[in-house]
Amino acid sequence: MSTFEYRHDAGASSPAAARSDTTVETSAEISPGSRTALRYVGAVIRICLGWVFLWAFLDKLFGLGHETPAEGAWLDGGQPTAGFLGNATAGPFADFYQGLAGQAWVDWVFMIGLLGIGVALILGIGMRIAAVAGALMLVLMWSAVLPPANNPFMDDHLIYALVLVALALGDAGRTLGLGAWWQSTALVRRWPVLV
């Protein structure tokens, strides 16, 4: 609760006018209903962002035809990083990323990252690690296409990275997720970084 004074001096020529000071109290606290709604909105955002990562993994693994054609499926010998890193990169780091395109270790790290981040976000567990890994992946993807198409520096990769950090800081895994259970496990109590 914050308090401020409002002084109205209409030519305070009399003692009565000088006593017309008014104290107004305002509430800067979030109501319980708003707090609950914010927790659920955060949980829905967490699940949706988790699906973005998990869908990218599934599409590249099976070649579901959205971004990855059936013949490009990782299970059929496709290279999940070859298309984007080999063809879509631009800007000052293009040569670096094009050199990584299609390398087996890069494919494995990328696919494990997509799967791990997606599952962690959907389940609401390992939010700190998922946020750091996801933000790192998104910033790397952002740097691969500098400058972005619609803005000198800002694009959805950076926004998603910031949202991931906010979700982890806001403990979003505890609502509509397994975060509360996960945080109570012996593993997480021993290594709190796994929260």
Residue with tokens 């914010």: 38
Measured between alpha carbons, how far is 57 from 13 in angstroms, rounded to an integer?
76
Q: 6 by DSSP, 3-state: which?
A: strand
Average pLDDT over residues 96-122: 97
Give the DSSP H or E segment for 15: helix 15-18
Q: Residue 5 pLDDT more than 50?
A: no
Measured between alpha carbons, how far is 129 from 126 in angstroms, rounded to an integer?
6
pLDDT band at 6 (very low <50, low <70, confident <90, very high): very low
Indicate the Cα dihedral angle 26, 30, 32, 34, nearest 10°.
120
- Cα R_g (the chain), whole angstroms: 25
pLDDT band at 1 (very low <50, low <70, confident <90, very high): very low
Q: 104 by DSSP, 3-state: which?
A: helix
pTM over 0.75: yes
Q: What is the pLDDT of residue 70?
A: 94
User: pLDDT tens-digit profile of 113-138?
Assistant: 999 999 999 999 999 999 999 999 99
User: pLDDT tens-digit profile of 61-83?
Assistant: 999 999 999 999 999 999 999 99
Measured between alpha carbons, how far is 181 from 177 in angstroms, rounded to an integer?
9
Average pLDDT over residues 86-106: 94
Q: Residue 3 pLDDT more than 50?
A: no
Q: Of all residues in the chain, what percent carry a pLDDT higher than 70? A: 86
Q: Tell me if 74 sits within 8 A of 80, measured CB to CB.
A: yes
Q: Tell me if 172 sits within 8 A of 120, measured CB to CB.
A: no
